[in-house]
Amino acid sequence: MDESQLRNLSPLDGRYRDKTNVTREIFSEHALIIARIKSEASWLEFFLENFRKDLLTKDVKEKLNQLSKSPSSSIAIRTKEIEQTTNHDVKAVELALAEEFDGNEELQSLIHIFLTSEDVNSLSYAMMLQSALGSFQKLLISLTKNIQNKSDKFSDLAMLARTHGQPATPTTLGKELNVFNQRLRNELKKLKKQKVYAKWGGATANYNPHLLAFPEMDWLDLSKSFLAKQEIALTSVSTQIEPHDYMADIFQNFVRINNILIDFSHDIWTYISQDYFKLKLVENEVGSSTMPHKVNPIDFENAEGNLGLSTAIFNHLADKLTKSRLQRDLSDSTVLRNIGSAFGYLEIAITSLEKGIQKLDANVDKIASDLSERYELLAEPLQSFLRLEGKKDAYDLVKKITRGKTLTRKSYIEVVEKLIDNKKYKKTLLQLKPESYLGLAKNLAKKGDI
């Protein structure tokens, strides 16, 4: 590592640089310039195909095809150099693209035809978000599979549940893990259906010069056809900027995902603190500068912190970007550039959770010992069977015996013998143990909606 990396302001580019490779590839300044070049080149090709086929020679078509699909880094660097003079990022893209066609002035004159910067930006950010949706779905699917593996492994492991932090009706460790797996998968279903949009109508999105020059054309239909080639939908009615409502949908979807992952981190952290999970040791890793014995749940703590940062940015993006004065103000421009930061912190968190999950191993003996003698937990089926016997004061009867108290196997049997009349019910309750009172938990550990 050189000194310049130690001077990075953001940990996304410093400490966590190697953990944000996916996000950097999609949302870096380089990626934004490349997306703008693709937008401009693909539009020029589309325009020539529909209006100036005479200029669309084989060489021009091949060049535009390359620029619209995989422009080189050299043109991105050249764009940034030009921007030092223009002080306008999209204009710099236009000029850099023009240099690719030196000597062909007629073609150069048609670069950026009928476009405003916000047409290019709306398409560029749409393409970037489209890529992010695909990449982060893959990351999250991998995470859910790892959670599911643990859920399957511990599907039968009976465990003391806690509501309000207090001992509650038994469950299995696997079922409780599967709760998070299913919540994440439900959000992934919504992400999969998410569309991305762009506007494409010029300065105030009314197609003013378009219609003046080519009044016979259906410009809305043409715009839809063009954007469909990029698998992007048209926002037909807008101001100079795409209103970003679809972006808010995406960001709020990820806020929900972040909250689920924070909830997961909290629960795993708590299970570790209760000694329900043991952490596999990593050689040479240090848990404390003064307490050599410590093995800390740092991966889940790291994830929690980064998820909070991601959520804060996503919330601001969703709140800010859907508001713009009159036909356009520039306050969204600087905010849009921080989309990558929100995804970057999420990428770090996912990496931490993947790492942390691999270290988890259930402490079977501890989990079993906490549950085995908790016969007061069987107060629930006891009062339920009393209700089935027609005893209207069933709840109060059991409450007097069990509330705030512990029951041993012996005292539980005495209560059942005393209160239950029905022989079938009595037999069922006498055979019952806390670790066998699991309902459908074992099945629910493996059940899913997807």
Q: Residue 373 forms beta bridges with which residues?
A: none
Catalytic pick from 10, 109, 273, 288?
Answer: 288
Alpha-carbon span 161 to 245, nearest angstrom: 41
Mark whether 288 is an active-site residue: yes
Per the rule left: phi > 0, alpha: psi between -120 and 50, beta: everything else, 241 is beta
Report whether 426 contacts 412 (CB < 8 A): no
Mark whether 244 is an active-site residue: no
DSSP assignments along 4-17, one per residue: HHHT-SSTTTTTTG
Q: Are strands 360-362 and 166-172 parallel, antiparallel or unpaired?
A: unpaired
216 C-beta neighbours (distance < 10 Å), count: 5
Tokens 């019952």 locate to 432
On the 0-12 / 13-18 / 19+ scale of CB atoms within 10 A, 30 is middle
Alpha-carbon span 243 to 124, nearest angstrom: 15
Contacting residues for 439 by C-beta, under 8 A, at least 6 apart: 169
Q: Are strands 197-198 and 233-234 parallel, antiparallel or unpaired?
A: parallel
Catalytic pick from 4, 70, 164, 289?
Answer: 164
Q: How far is CA 90 from CA 38, 93, 97, 111, in A?
A: 12, 5, 11, 12
Which of the residues are catalytic?
Answer: 164, 288
